[in-house]
């Protein structure tokens, strides 16, 4: 049984983008923001994971560097808009998660993107090495991080949503069963 009705998930301000919560649908609880359209191929995994749990969410391209005012406005207004968790992905000198965390007390989950120059080590360090006072929960580089950030968002939301918690246990159970059933020939 799904907790919320998921809606289509694509970055809003991309060529293929749209707002995720249409009239009549539940308001999005999770915002997935990413520094560039080029991050979407990775971050679609976060969106797909949230969809699997039936969680409404909004995906946006927002850059801390190229659109600083948009980053400030969106992060400052996120709580008032009803978001409960932010997933922020960026690559290179990856400041997006830190900038978001500076403007909201909502949990911000940072996903470092794999970069051409340093394979994502630059993204990882600039996301994870927050000075004390403004936390960013940082995940693995690339697809595993995108998926786990979404699962962590589910875990946060599940604290006050028993049905979602049950879904998360079912997800774990399915993983466990898959491993147990695996035969090496």
Residues forming the site for ligand RP5 (CB under 6 A): 34-36, 38-39, 63, 90-92, 113
| Burial class (CB within 10 angstroms; exposed 0-12, middle 13-18, buried 19+) of 16 | exposed
Q: How far is CA 56 from the centre of its chain?
A: 12
Of 28 and 92, which has the nearer Cβ to ligand RP5?
92
What is the residue whose two structure tokens read 């604290």? 159
Q: Minimum Å distance from CB 19 to ligand RP5?
A: 21
Q: Minimum Å distance from CB 65 to ligand RP5?
A: 6
Of 65 and 165, which has the nearer Cβ to ligand RP5?
65
Q: Minimum Å distance from CB 73 to ligand RP5?
A: 18
Of 102 and 155, which has the nearer Cβ to ligand RP5?
102
Of 113 and 141, which has the nearer Cβ to ligand RP5?
113
Q: Minimum Å distance from CB 12 to ligand RP5?
A: 16
């Amino acid at each position: 049984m799904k907790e919320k009705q998921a809606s289509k998930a694509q970055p809003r301000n991309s060529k293929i983008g749209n707002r995720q919560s249409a009239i009549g649908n539940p308001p999005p609880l999770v915002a997935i923001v990413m520094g560039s359209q080029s991050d979407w191929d990775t971050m679609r995994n976060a969106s797909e994971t949230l969809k699997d749990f039936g969680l409404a969410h909004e995906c946006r391209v927002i850059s801390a560097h190229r659109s600083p005012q948009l980053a400030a406005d969106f992060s400052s207004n996120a709580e008032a808009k009803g978001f409960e968790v932010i997933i922020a992905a960026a690559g290179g000198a990856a400041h997006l998660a830190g900038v978001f965390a500076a403007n909201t007390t909502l949990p911000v989950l940072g996903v470092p993107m794999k970069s051409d120059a340093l394979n994502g080590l630059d993204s990882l360090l600039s996301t994870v090495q927050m000075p004390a006072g403004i936390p960013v929960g940082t995940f693995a580089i690339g697809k595993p991080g995108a998926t786990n950030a979404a699962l962590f968002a589910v875990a946060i939301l599940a604290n006050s949503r028993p049905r979602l918690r049950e879904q998360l246990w079912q997800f774990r159970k399915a993983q466990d069963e898959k491993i147990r059933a695996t035969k090496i020939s």
